[in-house]
Amino acid sequence: MPNRYNDTHTDLLDQLTFYGASRRRFNLDMWCRAFGIKSPKEGGITGYEVKDLFKAGRHLDIAKYCVGDLRATKELLTYWENYIRFLP
């Protein structure tokens, strides 16, 4: 499917749900598990804990959690580009 914004931008959620045609919205953890990518949530931290980590001053743990999400998103994009992306 073409990108909604421009050719240099890929909204993975748009692509993986066919622009919302899928009735369920899955999260990064589910998409990673579905395609055999290590989920950043396996490290024990999820978005639900970030507020408490921040209050506890555990900023480095929050940064590591965010980097895990970035890595997983990059791997998911690479998987999508190599195996799912439709090019006319």
Residue 35 in tokens: 């395609």
pTM of the model: 0.80
State residue 4's pLDDT score.
66
Distances (CA, A) of 33 to 27, 30, 47: 10, 5, 17
Q: Check pLDDT > 70 for residue 88.
A: no
SS3 content of the chain, % helix, strand, coil (to 5): 60, 0, 40
Q: Where are the domains of the chain?
A: 12-84
Q: Is 19 left (phi over 0), alpha (psi -120 to 50) or beta?
A: left
Q: Check pLDDT > 60 for residue 1.
A: no
State residue 87's pLDDT score.
73
